[in-house]
Chains A and B, each alone.
Chain A
């Protein structure tokens, strides 16, 4: 069935360092890959997304890369700040329904 694997499950970095989270997906028909940030007790918030017709997208300190051949995509956060601490989820759209298949999440801790 459809599946998204996300690694690592936890990530601890020093403030100012970079953080990288990686995901692989199984549905070759997926064309849309969003990343959500979820703080404790709050709703998932979209931080960046990428569509299959591009290989990389950047928004200030956040970037996402996509390799459709290998079916994996990654989130890169540069110059991390303590307020970046949260759980990050990758997701892949399944077919043309729009439903999202989520990874298991990565808990990012940025130490001041």
Chain B
């Protein structure tokens, strides 16, 4: 499979629990982006990596959110002490550097916080 993959596809958790999502980008893609999409809205930028370096974080990303890309390949997004307002679809996208701006999206992880 040469596309962007995400795991899990669905997650139901109770308020206050921690959750972690994984994204595997397209092989050799240098940039990896995380977005959040709520029902009826467009995706909102959360953060992005160039190789293993996290270069920008949105103000949407509170200190309960942390993302890593330790070896410049897959990335994880962790949400600590989840709140009901965190319920959303979390999308990952990747792109090749050097002028190739096209972002390819993964299928997303749908999070429901009860």
Report B50 CB to chain A, min CB distance, Å.
Answer: 9
Q: Assuming the A-B contacts A34-B102, A43-B106, are A98 and B31 also in contact, with contact meaning beta carbons closer than 8 angstroms in the complex?
A: yes
Bound together, the chains give a CA A6 to CA B42 distance in angstroms of: 10
A interface with B by C-beta (< 8 Å): 4, 6, 32, 34, 36, 42-46, 49, 89, 91, 93-94, 97-105
Provide the bound-state CA to CA distance between A32 and B100, in Å.
10
Do most interface residues of chain A lie in helix, strand or loop, or is the interface mixed? Answer: strand
Selected contact of A93 from candidates B42, B55, B101, CB within 8 Å: B101
Instruction: Name the distance in Å between A30's Cβ and chain B's nearest Cβ.
Output: 11
In the complex, B25 has a CB within 8 A of chain A? no
Interface size on B, residues (CB 8 A): 22
B102 neighbours in A (Cβ, 8 Å): 34, 46, 49
Query: Which residues of the other chain, B, contact A4 by a CB distance below 8 angstroms?
Result: 42
B91 interfacial by beta-carbon distance below 8 Å: yes
Determine whether the beta carbon of A43 is less than 8 Å from that of B101. no
Interface residues of B in 79-104 (CB under 8 A from A): 91, 95, 101-104
- Please give the residue numbers on chain B whose beta carbons come within 8 Å of chain A beta carbons, in ascending order: 31, 33, 35, 40-45, 48, 55-56, 91, 95, 101-108
Q: Which of A43, A91, A93, A98 contacts B91 (CB 8 A)?
A: A43
Between A and B, 8 residue pairs with Cβ closer than 8 Å are: A6-B42, A43-B91, A46-B102, A97-B48, A98-B48, A101-B45, A103-B42, A105-B42
Hey, which chain B residues are within 8 Å of A100, CB to CB? 33, 35, 43, 45, 103
| Nearest residue, chain B, Cβ from A32 | B101
Q: Across the interface, which residues of B come within 8 angstroms of A89, CB to CB?
A: 42-43
Cross-chain contact of B41 among A42, A91, A98, A105 (Cβ < 8 A) = A105
